[in-house]
Structure 1
Amino acid sequence: MSVAKSIQENLHFLLAETATHLALLKDYLTLPTATIPMRLLDRQGYVENLKLSIHNHCLREMSSSDQDDKDYQLLRSIEVIASQLERIVELSRDAVMQSAHIQHRGMIKVKGFLAMLNRVNNGLASIEPALSAKDTRQALKIGKVERHLDTAYQKQLKHYSRLLKKEKHPADRISLIMLAHIIEQMGNAMLRISEAIISASMGQHFSTDRYHAFNASVTELKTANDIGRLEFTPIAETKSGSAINALSSADEGSGYHAIFKDGRKRKLKEEKQRVKNWHDIFPGLAPKILAYQKQGDSAALLIEHLAGQTFEQILLDGSDKLLQQALNHLTRTLSQIWLETKTKKPVSAAYMKQLAKRMKDVYAIHPEFRQPAAGIGGVALPAFDDLLKQMQGLETGVKAPFSVYIHGDFNVDNIIFDPQEKRINFIDLHRSSHMDYLQDVSVFMVSNYRLQVFDPRVRQRIMDLCHAFYRFARAFAREQGDKGFEIRLAMGLIRSFATSTRFILDKSLSERMFSRATYLMERLLESDSKPKHPFVVPVKEIFIG
């Protein structure tokens, strides 16, 4: 994309004006005059107008229908750069004003402050060429200004803090510490500019940590000889905060080389270990980990790209034949996994405890769900929280008679079926563990129900699938002598129906899901008071509409 001339020119003027402000600050530190603060204040409106002009032009460009994702990212990056340049200008003015408070000018270590400002100047000079060429190496150098300024600030802080103890001119020493801190903050602005240029180059937002992890990961991808020619396509962003992208060559038809997933180190480290466990337990089910990189609190995984479609894609867009084929392979695979990983150790999923921990988040999104106890025509309607407390008591001592190795987050978009190879694969495995198999069953059923698709034909497919999956799980339970199947499944469904509403803003769908959780609670508690009538999950009533 060729950036509009008006944007280029205004950005050039803004860079020049930022450099002018830094020069005036350096002059004031070297030889203060009364005119410099006034000159800075007089130029304030000009800088703001330049930034607003850049933002407005970028907005008009982004509203154009012929912009692709990379064009959008470039324009967003330019907006960020303009805002951060204005921030540096503001900090320059603040630094002059802070410096004006210093009574004893001889206390200023001018050389140290000028060295810090020269770092910023050098970074500014690199912005235009780095942005024009989308040069990530140059962008990283710009970002290093932040680290250099932080180091310089720490030295200044240590020096002036030590002198504070001498009790001579303490106000000046405090002002000098504040001055150093103001200039140090310019480094943060330079880091944001660096990341904006990297993001423009990559076509989506990248922090420096994320870019380093990405760069280190793809060097281990043998099929990608030229990193610069890799296409980076966003696939998803998980609720746990990870971003998932597909890597492919710029050549058309080359297909994906791998999946790049980055996020919090703890989550990805867990996933790496869980994938290893799956390879040991059930080889071929989980994708291969091609590379793992960590940087601070962040980490990245380079994962084998798996052919096929997610179960969600097949459910929504696939033929009836393909959906049935996928379901058959899924249930067959699950039966094998459950039988091969089954242990005799009883285990509790603590569904109600899980639900109680998440209710604060549910109420934050849907405060209307927090209703007091009420009554209709003499019929008591207890509050949801009261029902939950009763359910927690009911769950005490409820355990699965055995444990199996489960996925742990068994949503329809975490299951892949390849019809060519007739193979099921699992992805997003950081929650896998030995647990009650009904946790996966209940999550799968509710993840189908909560799909925000309202076409009657598709909704009917979803309901039919839920019923079929229930029949499969019930048959497995009977074969294994699992007499608590219905009660634990109901508890799992309650947990999933209620907690999933925190991700759904559609009022009608979220209310239907929450009502189903409430209804199942009431039915379970009622059944507990009538031991002669064994509880059965009302699947037909729950999974309809």
Structure 2
Amino acid sequence: MKLPEAAQENLAFLLAELDSQMASLLAYFKDPSPEGAQKVVLRAGYAHNLWSRVQSSCRSAASRGKPSQSRRLQLQNVDTIARNLDQMSRLSRLALVHAEDVQRIKLLRPESYRKVLRGVADALQEVLPALAASDSKRAIEIGQTKAEVDAFYDRMFRTYTRDMRDTRHTEDLANALLVLNEVRRMGESLQGISEALLSISIGQNVQFERYFTLRSVLSGSKVGGDDLVLKPLAETRSGSAISSVSTRDQGGDLINAVFKDGEKNKVKEERAGVKSWHAIYPGLAPRILSYEKRGQSAALLIEHLQGYTFEHALLNEDDTSLAAAQRALHRTLTDIWTRTRIENPAEMRAMRQLSQRMTDVYRVHPGFDRGETAIQGLCQRGFGELLKAAETREAETPAPFSVYIHGDFNLDNVIFDPGEKKIRFIDLHRSRYMDYVQDVSVFMVSNYRLQVQDGPARVRIRETAVTMHRMAAKFARAQQDETFEFRLALGLARSFASSTRFVFDKEHARRMFLRARYLLELVLAVPEGREGRLKLPIKELFGD
């Protein structure tokens, strides 16, 4: 897509200005002089004005009509390129300001800077050609200049600090270190430019290291090719990023996959979870196409699953499609729980989980952090006191058996294929043998916490939670699980309260927190030994 004329023109002028500044910078480090430094320092405002014009042009183009996602991405990243170029202009001026403060110029070792600055200048020459051609190879080469700058920085840092031990001219060497730091930051700006160019080429905002991780994962699978399209799917709360990948194999056939990367332990847990489901209940989890580790991060390339999430079915599909998804889900869960049942008692420890999360809840909703209160002489225990008492009751009431659970059973982790009427699971890093009430309670509350206030939609949300409860209660009766409702109350209380840390609508969060409190008080009102008699008012709990 062609850039707006004003953006194209001013970006070209900005790069020409940087080329001139880099030439003056190189000339200074060849023959340091105040006059040479002033050539750059006195042009302080020009580069900034050019960036402002690029930014204004891009924003104006983005506000006209309804630009496509790829168009918005292009305009946003062209602005990012111009901003980083302006930053490089600032850094070149700062480097010269600090260089001029070095009284004994030999301590600066100016001749050492020429090679690395030439590399920076050469990288800048590639920006416009890479942008014009959406050339990811050129974009990568620009970003790789940062590694050269970093290596230079490490070498010169050791040199300057060694010199500090051998001379009393530490002030000059301190200023030399400031010069060195500004040059190092030029490498960071070049990487920012590289990431913006890659983002335009790929069609999604992408970090430099993430791009290499993706290419590495692709090379370790049958999926490959240079015709690569990356689209965002989700950002997990643990920091992992999930994207869809479209590319072509060597035969030219289109292949779709899911790329997930993040902190190594989290991704490793996801891989182990997928493998465990393949062994325990084949066909439910996606296939892993490739797995790669890079330092403290890792990445997975996973089979793309046909269909849509249960959340999509709930909010966007008609009643017939939603009912089909519910039937498939309930049938699948009942089968999993029946086939994986083992006779080991399970402790959900919902209250301990909630206690660990309350700091985050109070950070988002400080008004919830209240101790004991009294109304007309009637004392009401603080939430923390209720938690401690409920934790004691929970420890006395474990589940009579264990089943294999998902572990993070939110609506968007369940995929329904309407063609095959089949359920699949994703995001499996918490899968383990546990009380099935863990999954039931998380699923039910993930319905309620949806921040959709449309009346008919809230009715569907309530009915989805109610039918999940009905199915789970039927399973509990068949398995002679007499304390199901008691444990479910604790699980729901945990999920209602802890989920408020993700809900910024104060009224919606308050409704959830009050439900958690009600459930804890309900549990604590049950006489010991009578846990099996508790019946929850599910329709009232999930209605508004």
TM-score bucket (shorter structure): over 0.9
Q: Which residue pairs with 1:235 in the alignment?
A: 233
| 346-355 vs 290-299, greater mean Cα deviation | 290-299
- Cα 1:225/1:296, change in 2 over 3 Å: closer
Whether the aligned pair in 2 keeps the contact of 1:310 and 1:415 (CA below 8 Å) is yes
Whether the aligned pair in 2 keeps the contact of 1:218 and 1:227 (CA below 8 Å) is no
| 526-535 vs 100-109, greater mean Cα deviation | 526-535
CA distance in 2: counterparts of 1:480 and 1:337, whole angstroms: 14
Deviation of 1:352 after TM superposition, in Å, equals 0.9
CA distance in 1: counterparts of 2:506 and 2:165, whole angstroms: 62
- Cα 1:317/1:106, change in 2 over 3 Å: closer
Give a deviation string over 1:248-268, Cα, whole Å, max 9, x none.
469xxx987222223332222
- What is the identity, as a one-letter code, of the residue corresponding to 2:136? T
* Aligned residue pair count: 540
2:343 aligned counterpart, secondary structure: coil
Q: Which residue pairs with 2:475 in the alignment?
A: 476
2:238 aligned counterpart, secondary structure: coil
- Cα 1:466/1:108, change in 2 over 3 Å: closer
Q: Which residue pairs with 2:245 in the alignment?
A: 247
2:399 aligned counterpart, secondary structure: coil
Q: Which residue pairs with 2:141 in the alignment?
A: 141
Whether the aligned pair in 2 keeps the contact of 1:330 and 1:424 (CA below 8 Å) is yes
CA distance in 2: counterparts of 1:66 and 1:467, whole angstroms: 41
Segments of 5+ residues of structure 2 without an aligned counterpart are none
Whether the aligned pair in 2 keeps the contact of 1:246 and 1:256 (CA below 8 Å) is no
Q: Which residue pairs with 1:458 in the alignment?
A: 457
- Cα 1:356/1:255, change in 2 over 3 Å: farther
- What is the identity, as a one-letter code, of the residue corresponding to 1:103? Q
Whether the aligned pair in 2 keeps the contact of 1:287 and 1:305 (CA below 8 Å) is yes
1:527 aligned counterpart, secondary structure: coil
Deviation of 1:407 after TM superposition, in Å, equals 0.4
2:536 paired with 1:524: no
- Cα 1:337/1:36, change in 2 over 3 Å: same
Deviation of 1:178 after TM superposition, in Å, equals 2.7
2:166 aligned counterpart, secondary structure: coil
Segments of 5+ residues of structure 1 without an aligned counterpart are none
1:459 aligned counterpart, secondary structure: helix
Deviation of 1:146 after TM superposition, in Å, equals 0.8
Equivalent positions of 1:136-535 (< 5 A) are 136-219=136-219, 222=222, 226-228=225-227, 230-248=228-246, 257-528=256-527, 531=530, 534-535=533-534
1:262 aligned counterpart, secondary structure: strand
CA distance in 1: counterparts of 2:420 and 2:530, whole angstroms: 48
- What is the identity, as a one-letter code, of the residue corresponding to 1:128? L
2:374 aligned counterpart, secondary structure: strand
1:247 aligned counterpart, secondary structure: strand
Whether the aligned pair in 2 keeps the contact of 1:527 and 1:533 (CA below 8 Å) is no
| 89-98 vs 316-325, greater mean Cα deviation | 316-325
Deviation of 1:107 after TM superposition, in Å, equals 2.8
1:233 aligned counterpart, secondary structure: strand
- Cα 1:277/1:87, change in 2 over 3 Å: same
Deviation of 1:394 after TM superposition, in Å, equals 2.7
- Cα 1:492/1:446, change in 2 over 3 Å: same
CA distance in 1: counterparts of 2:391 and 2:23, whole angstroms: 67
CA distance in 1: counterparts of 2:104 and 2:458, whole angstroms: 77
Whether the aligned pair in 2 keeps the contact of 1:209 and 1:295 (CA below 8 Å) is no
* RMSD across aligned positions (CA): 2.2
Deviation of 1:153 after TM superposition, in Å, equals 1.3
Give a deviation string over 1:445-467, Cα, whole Å, max 9, x none.
11111222223222222222222
CA distance in 2: counterparts of 1:163 and 1:248, whole angstroms: 53
CA distance in 1: counterparts of 2:159 and 2:316, whole angstroms: 67
- Cα 1:455/1:169, change in 2 over 3 Å: closer
CA distance in 2: counterparts of 1:533 and 1:436, whole angstroms: 16
Deviation of 1:15 after TM superposition, in Å, equals 1.3
> What is the aligned-residue identity percentage?
42
- What is the identity, as a one-letter code, of the residue corresponding to 1:119? G
Give a deviation string over 1:69-127, Cα, whole Å, max 9, x none.
11111111111111111111111111111111222222332221111211111111111
1:408 aligned counterpart, secondary structure: coil
CA distance in 2: counterparts of 1:312 and 1:255, whole angstroms: 27
Deviation of 1:46 after TM superposition, in Å, equals 1.2
Whether the aligned pair in 1 keeps the contact of 2:486 and 2:532 (CA below 8 Å) is no
Q: Which residue pairs with 2:541 in the alignment?
A: 542
TM-score w.r.t. structure 1 length? 0.94
Q: Which residue pairs with 1:25 in the alignment?
A: 25
| 492-501 vs 327-336, greater mean Cα deviation | 327-336
